[in-house]
Amino acid sequence: ALTAGLRRGGVLLGILVLPLSVPVLIFATAAMDAASMHLPADGYLAVLGALLAGSATLSPFATAAALRISTQ
């Protein structure tokens, strides 16, 4: 909704989404690294689960706000 009317909306969308995806990539990589070295990865997986729960909880509100903005 924020980038719908812009010519270079893809660049702005990438800049907005990048900070949201970097923590997931970091913790997923750390969990895979710990699992490959036969170390416990429970902490990393717990953080990933918390990120999933938070994003699943907040995404309907963000979607509703984006739709509300785009229809105005």
User: pLDDT for 25-41, tens place per residue?
Assistant: 999 999 999 999 999 99
Instruction: Give the chain's domain count.
Output: 1
Alpha carbon of 57 to those of 3, 51, 70: distances in Å? 23, 10, 22
Residue 1 domain-assigned? no
CB-based contacts of 65: which residues, under 8 Å, 6+ apart? Answer: 1
Residue 43 domain-assigned? yes
Q: What is the pLDDT along the chain (72 residues), one digit of tens a residue?
A: 556 566 666 677 778 888 889 999 999 999 999 999 999 999 999 999 999 999 999 999 988 988 888 787
Residue 3 domain-assigned? no
Contact by Cβ (8 Å): 6, 26: no
With residue 41 as reference, give the H or E element that holds it: none
Residue 5 domain-assigned? no
Residue 10 domain-assigned? no
Range of the domain at 40: 22-71
Residue 28 domain-assigned? yes
